[in-house]
């Protein structure tokens, strides 16, 4: 799949992870040194504290735009099963809130915005961080458990093949990486809880320092492993193949250049779609981006879906997903939509009705509306993206997630009309059934006269054609 603008931005941001981990190590080492020297050397402790604050602000500057990472992860690979997709949406949504409000926290602490906003922005950012890490940890534990079950099956089968050993090795390597991710997420969760609800344990200098160092170390190990995997995929790492010399192999098998190169098979060189990966026929001509059959504001063309989308958008969304994925019942996405989108709006409305709109409740109202808006754009945008990949539809009028963020109800109706129109095109064409001639059998000599008479009556066999 070709990289678009968001992919390029995410790749650019990922290159700064190493600097962020290095500065994070400096920050929490400074915290531990400050705690150790605060009582004995106050002047040195004061300078170390300034170093710690400067490192923390530098890290927030390096994380500018990092909320696009979670958005791109959901846009590209949300999950293999509905459970993992749901956990990925919650985890990445919390992480996006964390990185997004971290911008305002940084600007308020350096004096660009009102310094009074720092505490509120810190609370929202830490809440989103903790919310996301909880679901990241749950997802990692589920994958670890599935890996252990797969490993047990391979061990009990007592297969000695290279494929089985390689599968067990990959499962163990993935388990180590998942455990490192869990350690990093738990450490960051402790840091986030310290900002949400200060307490003697989480806010202690030793607890924060150790948590920060564990997080930096585990994340750096993950980054190194991902970089090595990228090198192997790109072919820049050292090859495991052994080059044969003239003494080790027949002379006629030695060819100039690198040995053990892949063999090109013309039959396998098939053009594939960049979006869905399906093989394309020889008659296919680009461009493959087909227009939508109806416009985004054509809700009046189908009144039934228009009324359903206006008053029960969760039901219409469930029906759309059911038509798109045959293995998913409409009730599951309907309930997810009702809880995430309608639930956030209902929470904000109930708070405003029963408790009024004052500074104490404004935060809860905004939090409910923001959660509903994020989930509406991400969760329903992924379904629209799947529809576009299935029918090779272009982004109209813009990115799927952005369409649902701005015109959610119109987008639901447009998707329903699109699938309804394309499914109605698959009508049954009239066909003609050709009945074969009767089977000829060998008969006794006594019946030769009768068979000769019947053959005289039927000089040739006719085909019976029956319209269906």
Residue 329 located in a structural domain: yes
Same domain assignment for residues 219 and 305: no
Residues 429 and 402 sit within 8 Å (Cβ to Cβ)? no
Total domains in the fold of the chain: 2
Cβ contacts of 361 within 8 Å, gap of 6 or more: 351, 352, 355
Residues 70 and 92 sit within 8 Å (Cβ to Cβ)? yes
Residue 256 located in a structural domain: no
Angle formed by the axes of helices 82-109 and 359-391, nearest 10°: 130
Which letter does DSSP use for residue 244 in this model? P
**DSSP strand pairing (464-467 vs 432-435):** antiparallel
| Successive 10-residue mean pLDDT values, the chain, 468 residues | 65 72 84 87 88 85 81 78 86 88 85 84 88 90 89 78 81 87 89 86 86 82 53 38 45 49 57 61 60 84 84 86 81 82 80 73 74 78 83 81 84 88 56 54 54 49 50
- In SS3 terms, 325-359 reads as CCCCCCHHHHHHHHHHHHHHHHHHHHHHHHHCCCH
What pLDDT does residue 42 have?
Answer: 87
**What whole-number distance in Å separates Cα of residue 229 and Cα of residue 110?**
39
For residue 144, the enclosing domain spans 5-234
User: E-strand spans in 117-202?
Assistant: none
Residues 144 and 171 sit within 8 Å (Cβ to Cβ)? no
DSSP per position, 362-422: HHHHHHHHHHHHHHHHHHHHHHHHHHHHHHTB--SSS-HHHHHHH-HHHHHHHHHHHHHHH
Around 162, how many Cα atoms within 13 Å sit in the side-chain half-sphere? 0
Same domain assignment for residues 42 and 128: yes
Which letter does DSSP use for residue 460 in this model? S
Same domain assignment for residues 202 and 349: no
Residue 276 located in a structural domain: no
Residue 468 located in a structural domain: no
What pLDDT does residue 228 have?
Answer: 44
Same domain assignment for residues 212 and 316: no
Same domain assignment for residues 328 and 188: no
Residue 378 located in a structural domain: yes
Same domain assignment for residues 226 and 306: no
> Bridge-partner residues for 279, per DSSP?
272
Strand, coil or helix: what is 167?
helix
Model confidence pTM above 0.75: no
Same domain assignment for residues 181 and 324: no
Phi first, then psi: what are they for 111, rounded to 5°? 95, 0
Cβ atoms within 10 Å, residue 139: 22
Helix (H) or strand (E) holding 309, with range, is helix 303-311
Helix (H) or strand (E) holding 435, with range, is strand 432-435
Domain boundary among 234, 251, 268: 234
Same domain assignment for residues 171 and 26: yes
Closest CA to 413 of 384, 375, 390: 384
Residue 393 located in a structural domain: yes
Domain boundary among 234, 250, 276: 234
Closest CA to 363 of 104, 69, 118, 123: 123
Residues 368 and 347 sit within 8 Å (Cβ to Cβ)? yes
Same domain assignment for residues 230 and 311: no
Domain boundary among 214, 234, 254: 234
What pLDDT does residue 437 have?
Answer: 60
**What whole-number distance in Å separates Cα of residue 347 and Cα of residue 365?**
7
Question: Residue 203 CA to chain centroid, in angstroms?
Answer: 34
Question: Residue 347 CA to chain centroid, in angstroms?
Answer: 27
Residue 371 located in a structural domain: yes
Question: Residue 396 CA to chain centroid, in angstroms?
Answer: 21
Residues 157 and 164 sit within 8 Å (Cβ to Cβ)? yes
Residue 209 located in a structural domain: yes
**What whole-number distance in Å separates Cα of residue 122 and Cα of residue 102?**
7
Residues 211 and 190 sit within 8 Å (Cβ to Cβ)? yes
């Amino acid at each position: 799949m070709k990289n678009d603008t968001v992919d390029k931005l995410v790749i650019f941001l990922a290159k700064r992870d190493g600097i962020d981990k290095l500065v994070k190590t400096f920050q929490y080492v400074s915290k531990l040194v400050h705690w150790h020297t605060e009582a004995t050397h106050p002047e040195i402790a004061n300078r170390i504290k300034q170093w710690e604050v400067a490192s923390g602000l530098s890290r927030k500057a390096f994380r500018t735009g990092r909320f696009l990472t979670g958005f791109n992860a959901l846009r590209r690979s949300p999950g293999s099963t509905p459970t993992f997709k749901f956990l990925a949406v919650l985890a990445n949504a919390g992480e996006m809130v964390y990185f997004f409000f971290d911008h305002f926290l940084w600007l308020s602490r350096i004096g660009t915005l009102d310094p009074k906003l720092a505490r509120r922005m810190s609370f929202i950012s830490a809440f989103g961080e903790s919310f996301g890490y909880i679901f990241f940890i749950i997802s990692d534990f589920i994958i670890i458990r599935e890996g252990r079950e797969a490993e047990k099956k391979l061990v009990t089968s007592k297969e000695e093949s290279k494929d089985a050993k390689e599968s067990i090795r990959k499962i163990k390597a993935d388990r180590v990486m998942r455990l490192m991710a869990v350690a990093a997420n738990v450490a960051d969760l402790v840091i986030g809880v310290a900002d949400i609800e200060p307490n003697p344990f989480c806010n202690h200098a030793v607890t924060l320092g150790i948590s920060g160092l564990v997080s930096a170390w585990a994340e750096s190990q993950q980054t190194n492993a991902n970089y090595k995997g990228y090198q192997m995929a790109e072919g820049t790492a050292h090859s495991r193949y052994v080059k044969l010399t003239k003494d080790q192999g027949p002379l006629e098998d030695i060819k100039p250049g690198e040995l053990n190169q892949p063999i090109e098979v013309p039959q396998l060189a098939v053009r594939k779609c960049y979006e869905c990966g399906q093989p394309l026929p020889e008659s296919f001509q680009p461009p493959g981006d087909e227009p939508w059959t109806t416009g985004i504001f054509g809700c009046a063309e189908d009144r039934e879906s228009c009324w359903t989308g206006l008053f029960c958008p969760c039901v219409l969304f469930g029906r759309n997903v059911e038509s798109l994925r045959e293995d998913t019942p409409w009730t599951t996405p309907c309930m997810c939509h009702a809880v995430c989108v309608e639930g956030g709006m209902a929470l904000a409305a109930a708070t405003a009705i029963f408790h009024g709109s004052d500074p104490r409740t404004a935060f809860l109202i905004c939090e409910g509306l923001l959660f509903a808006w994020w989930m509406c754009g991400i969760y329903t945008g992924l379904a629209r993206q799947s529809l576009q990949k299935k029918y090779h539809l272009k982004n109209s009028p813009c990115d799927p997630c952005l369409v649902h963020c701005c015109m959610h109800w119109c987008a639901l109706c447009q998707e329903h009309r699109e699938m309804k129109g394309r499914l109605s095109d698959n009508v049954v064409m009239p066909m003609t059934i050709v009945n074969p001639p009767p089977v000829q059998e060998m008969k006794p000599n006594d019946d030769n006269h009768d068979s000769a008479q019947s053959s005289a009556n039927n000089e040739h066999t006719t085909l019976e054609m029956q319209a269906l």
